[in-house]
Structure 1
Amino acid sequence: MNRYLHYLYVSLLALAGSLAHADDSSYPVTNPFLATIVGTPPQLAAPVPPETEVRQTDLAVTVLPERHLPPALSRYHDLHYRLAWHNEPAPLIFLIAGTGSGYSSPRLDYLKRVFWQAGMHVIILSSPTNHDFIAAASRSGLPGLGLSDARDLHTAMSMAVEHARDKKNLQITEYRLAGFSLGALNAAFVAHLDQSLRQFNFTRTLLLNPPVDLYASIRRLDALARTQLDGVSSGDSFYEHIFQKLARYFAESGGTDIEGGLFYGIQSSDSALTDAEMAMLIGAVFRFAAADLNFMADLVTEGGRYAPAGEKLKVSTSLTPYLRRALFCDFSCYLETQLWPVWNNANDGKSIDDMAWDTSLYSIAGFLRDNPNIAALTNADDFILTADNYRFITETFGERALLYPHGGHGGNLQHRDVVATMLHFMEGDVQ
C-alpha cells in the first residue's frame, strides 16, 4: 500500500473510532473503499417503487439561448432534467447530482423514488461539472466556483420548474433541496443565494456527503487515481490486472455474475481486491469525470487545449482523440490551468487559497450554523473529508449533523435507517 493510501486509511479508522456520537446503524461494510463501490446490500435497502411505477419524464429547457455550440455538441444546447410528479398539490424537491454526474445517474434515480414515494414532486439536475450543464447552463463555461455555480443552478432551477409547471400543470406547495457530494456543496450555496433572492424559500435543504473544502477534497480524489500497484505501470495494465483477478475468480467459482461476484463473492476469495486496487478504481471514475469537465469547459470557452480553437467539430467528428488528451488532466490540473487564471484576472491580489476559501463551506459557515432548516448527512469514514472537516460539520450543524460510522462516500445512502433519517428531516424532524 502506498504511503498516501496508508495514511488515509489509518486516519479514517482513527476518525471513525473518535466519533462516538455518530449514529449506530446495521450497515455492514466497514471498508470505506468497498462501501463506496458496493453501496448497500439489497436486503438492507429501503424499498422503493420500480421505475415503471413512477410518474416521470425527461424534459429539456433552453437556459442560454445565445450559447453557440459546434454541430457535434448541438444536442447539449438545451438543459435536460428529469421530472417525477404527482397529480395533486405536493412539495417539490430539487436534487443536484454529484461530481461529473448527469441527471440520470442511478444514485439520484434511487433518491428520486424515495422522495416521490414520500409524496413529493422531484426535479433532478445534472452537476454543474457535467458536460450537459456546462454546455447548456454554465454562463462562464468554467464550473467550480461556489457562488457562480449557485447562480447558474438557481437560474436553471427557476426555468426548469416553470417549464415543468407548464408541461405537467404542477401544483407546488413548497420547495425543498438536496444534493450529493459536490451537489451537496452546490445545494448549500444555492440555499444561501436564495436567502437573498427569496424565490424558492426552501423549507428544507439536505447535504448528502458534502465536501467541506472542495479543492482539498479534489486533491484527495486525484491522489486515489495515482495509487501505485506492484507490477502495474499504466492505466491499461491496471485494467488488465483487474480483469485477470475477475477471470481467476469466475473460473474458480464457476459463476458469471459480475455485479454480484465482483463486490461480494470476490472479496471473500483469494482474488479479493486490495484497498489500493479499490482506491484506484474509485480514482479512475473521478479521472474520467475530470476529463469530461476539462474537455467541455475548454470547448465552451474556446481555450484550444484539447480541440484546437476554430476547428469545426461536425456531427461525424470523433471526439475520442480530444477526450483522450483531456484524460491527462485531473481535477487539480483543471483548477490550475483553466479556472484559476480566469478567477485570478478578476480578483487581482488574491491567491488560489482565497479562491478555495470562497468555494468552501467555511465561507458560509454562519448561514449554515444559524439556519435550522439545513442538515448535513455523512459518514465517519468518508475519504473526501479530513478530521478538521468532520469537526466543522459537527460544530456547525450540531444536532443537524447526521453522522454514521461507516459507508464511505455515499455507500449507505440506500440503507433503510439512512433513508428514514432523510425523510424524517425532510418532513420536519431531526433524529
Structure 2
Amino acid sequence: MKRIIATATLSIALFGHCAAQAEDFSYSEENAFMATIASTPPQQAAPVPAEVDVQQDNLSVRVLPDRALPPVLSGFDELDFRLAWQDEPAPLMFLIAGTGSGFDTARMDYLKRVFWQAGMHVIVLSSPTNHDFIAAASRSGLPGLGRRDARDLHTAMSMAVEKARETKGIEITEYHMAGFSLGALNAAFVGELDQQLGQFDFSKIVLLNPPVDLYTSVTRLDALPYTRVEGVDGTDNFYEHIFDKLSRYYAKRGTIDVQAGLFAEIQASDEALTDAELAMLIGAVFRFAAADLSFMSDVINRGGLYVPVDEKLKVSTSLTPYLRQALFCNFRCYMETQLYPDWQTRNADQSIEDMSQESSLRSIEDYLRDNRDIAMVTNADDFILTRENYQYLAELFGERAFIYPRGGHGGNLQHKDVVARILSFVEATDNE
C-alpha cells in the first residue's frame, strides 16, 4: 500500500501542468482511499434532480436468444438497462458502469441525472463483467478482452436504442458515450469499433478514471485486501476489527446512522479508520466483484472450476457454497485460470502480458490520440494507475486529459467543477 501512495504523490509532482488547471480545486478530501469510499461532500457536489423527478424506466432486451441458462439463472436471460428520456428530440448519452457494477449503482444514477438534466436521453448499461451482462449479453461468457467486449456492448447498445424508440418514442439527434473505470476502457474500444462500423458516429466520448491496461490495474486492486493491519491476521478478524471500531463509535454517539456517520463523522473521531483499513475495505469490494465474475463465467462456460459440469443448478439451489469458493479467486486469478487459457487457444505462442497489451489503451492509441472528440478524466492519486500510466495518459490525451490533484478512484466525479468540465466538453461543438 505504501508503494501505491508513493505513486500518487510522485504523479502529482510529475504532472503539475495537467493538475494546474485545478490549483484552486475545492474538493476537500486529500486521502485517496477515503475519497474513493465517501465520494464528494454534498456541499461540493453539482446539484442534480431527485431520482423521482427523472423521467425514466428500466427496460430489457433479449441479446442472446439461443443461450440456455441453468434454471437458477433463468432471471438473467434478458439484459436490463435504464433509460431516462426527454419528450423532445435530444442527444443520447450511453453510460457504461465500472468493474463488476450494474446499471443501477448510485454512481451511474448520479451521472444519469447530470446528463438528463443537461437535456439528453440517457441509456445506462451494466459492466460486461457484471453477472447480468455475462449471462445475457456476453457471447463468450468470458469478459475482459477489449475488442470482444466492445462487440458485445455495441450489439447491446444497438438493441437498447431500438427498444427505447419502440417503447418510449424517443428521437435522437446525436450520440455520446461515457464509461467509468473498466467501463471507460470499454468505451474506448466501443468507440474504435464504431468508427469502423459507422453506426453511432459518437460526437463525444468521455473516459472517466480509465485503466491503461486491465492487467496492471487489477494487480494493484488485488493487492489491497492483503494490506497489513496491526492486530489483524485474517479476513474474518479484519471484519470483526472494523465492526468493533464501528460499535465503539456508535456507542459513544448514542445513535446508529450509518449514512451520516460512517464516511464523515467517524473519520473525525477516535475510531477513524486508518489508510490500511480503508484500503482493505476497497479491496474487499473488488474481491466480491471478482468472485461474481469468476463464478458466472465458470457457470456459463461449464468450466467445472466451481460447479461440477454434471451438476444441475435448480431454482432452489443455494449458490452460497460456490460463491464462497469463488471468493478465493481475485481478478488476476480469473484472468490466469479462465480468460487467458481461452485466449491462448487462438494465440498459442503469446503470453498473458501480450493478452493484456492487446486489450490496453496502447493498442488503440492512434485512434485515441487523433480523435479530438475523446477526453479523459482522472486524478493524480488514483491508485489503479502506476506512475508510468499517468505519464502515458497525460501524453496521449494532451489538452484533453483532465487530471485533478485529488479524488482517488472516481471520488470527485460529483464535484461541481468536474461535472462542469465534463459537460463543457460534451456540449461543445468545436474543441479546437
Which of the five TM-score ranges fits, normalised by the shorter chain?
Answer: over 0.9
3-state SS of 2:345 partner: helix
Equivalent residue runs for 1:68-79 within 5 Å: 68-79=68-79
The farther-off stretch of 244-253 and 375-384 is 244-253
Paired residue type of 2:410? G
Aligned match of 2:399: 399
Aligned match of 1:161: 161
Equivalent residue runs for 1:144-293 within 5 Å: 144-293=144-293
Aligned match of 1:14: 10
Equivalent residue runs for 1:24-423 within 5 Å: 24=22, 25-423=25-423
3-state SS of 1:94 partner: strand
Paired residue type of 2:209? N
Deviations 1:363-408 (A, max 9, x none): 1111100000000000000000011111111111111001100000
Paired residue type of 1:138? S
3-state SS of 2:66 partner: coil
Deviations 1:197-240 (A, max 9, x none): 00000000000000002110000000001112222222221111
How far apart in 2 are the matches of 1:32 and 1:246? 21
Deviations 1:138-184 (A, max 9, x none): 00000000000000000100111111111111100001000000000
Structure 2, unaligned stretches of length 5 or more? none
Contact persistence 2:10–2:387 (CA under 8 A): no
Paired residue type of 1:409? H
How far apart in 1 are the matches of 2:418 and 2:408? 13
Contact persistence 2:15–2:391 (CA under 8 A): no
Residue 430 of structure 1 deviates from its aligned partner by 5.9
How far apart in 2 are the matches of 1:11 and 1:97? 26
The farther-off stretch of 310-319 and 213-222 is 310-319
Residue 69 of structure 1 deviates from its aligned partner by 0.3
Residue 321 of structure 1 deviates from its aligned partner by 0.6
How far apart in 1 are the matches of 2:339 and 2:358? 13
How far apart in 2 are the matches of 1:259 and 1:241? 20
Residue 255 of structure 1 deviates from its aligned partner by 3.5
Deviations 1:89-131 (A, max 9, x none): 0000100000000010110000000000000000000000000
Paired residue type of 1:8? I
Residue 19 of structure 1 deviates from its aligned partner by 2.2
How far apart in 1 are the matches of 2:115 and 2:127? 19
3-state SS of 1:346 partner: coil
3-state SS of 2:271 partner: coil
Paired residue type of 1:53? D
Paired residue type of 2:249? Y
How far apart in 1 are the matches of 2:263 and 2:60? 36
Contact persistence 1:424–1:430 (CA under 8 A): no
How far apart in 2 are the matches of 1:251 and 1:75? 42
Contact persistence 1:81–1:124 (CA under 8 A): yes
What is the number of equivalent residue pairs in this alignment? 427
The farther-off stretch of 309-318 and 256-265 is 256-265
Contact persistence 1:421–1:430 (CA under 8 A): no
How far apart in 2 are the matches of 1:306 and 1:176? 39
How far apart in 2 are the matches of 1:60 and 1:257? 35
3-state SS of 1:116 partner: helix
How far apart in 2 are the matches of 1:381 and 1:255? 34
How far apart in 1 are the matches of 2:6 and 2:385? 13
Deviations 1:283-304 (A, max 9, x none): 0000000000000000000001
How far apart in 1 are the matches of 2:320 and 2:165? 38
How far apart in 2 are the matches of 1:129 and 1:228? 28
Contact persistence 1:400–1:430 (CA under 8 A): no
Contact persistence 1:19–1:405 (CA under 8 A): no
